Structure 1
Amino acid sequence: MSSLEILFPESKTITIAGSKVTIKPIALEHFELFGRASSSLIEMLSSAGVQQINQYAAAHASELRQVLKVSTSLGWLQRRRLPAAVAVQVFVAVVRENASFFGEALPRMVEALNGAMLSSD
C-alpha cells in the first residue's frame, strides 16, 4: 500500500480595524454548521447588494456568530460587536481560506483514489 501525503490546513491571519484575527481551518465537528452557513452565504452573494448582505446578516446572525466562534480567534464580545457587514466579510474570508484548502487537497484525493482503483484491477 502506498503512502498518502495528508495535507493539513494552516491558520491564516487577517486584520480587522488594526487587530490581527486568525482564521482557523474548519474541524470535522463543525463541518455541518460551516456547510449550512456557507451555502446561505453563497446563495446571498449570487444576488449581492448592500441590502441583501444586511438581510443575510439579520436572518443568519446567530449562525454567523457560531461559525465565527469556531473558525476565528474572535472573542465573544468581539463577535457580538462586529458590524453586520464586517461579520459577513470575515465569514467570506473564512469560506475563501477553507475553499482554497479543499481546492488544493481535492486533486490529491482524486489522484490517490484513481491510483488505488488502478492498482486493484
Structure 2
Amino acid sequence: MKNVLRNVTAARFNERFPVGSLFHYYPMMGIPDYEEVITRSEAWELGHGAAVVSVIGRAGGLSVDHLEPIKAATCSQCGCDDHHACVSEQGQPCHWVQVNRVTGVGICSHCAEHLNQINTFGEPK
C-alpha cells in the first residue's frame, strides 16, 4: 500500500495510466486488503475536486487515492504487455495464460505453444 496514488488530478492520472491499466484497489485505507481492478474509463474530477475512475466490475467511480499501480507484465516471447495486447488474424486480443506479477513476465495466449519449452520467466525448462 506504499505506492497508493495521493492527490493526483484526473488529468495527471490520464497522462500516466491508459484505460485498461491494472491496479490494486484498497476499499478501506489503512487496511492491507485489496482487489485487482482494471480501469474502463479515463479519470474525471467530482465537484469537490476528487479524481475518480471507473473500473470493470464496479458501478460508479473509485477514488484514485485508493489505487496502487501494478507493474505491467510483458510476454517473454512476443513482447506484448498489459497495455499493448497482440491481436490474432481474427482480430482477437491476447490474454495471459501465465503471468508472474512479481517479476512482470508472462506468456500470452498467442504464445501459449511455447509453454512446454519455457517457464514464466522466459527461461528454457
TM-score, normalisation: structure 2: 0.26
Q: Which has the higher contact order (CA 8 A, sep 6+)?
A: 1
Specify which structure has the higher proportion of helix.
1
TM-score, normalisation: structure 1: 0.27
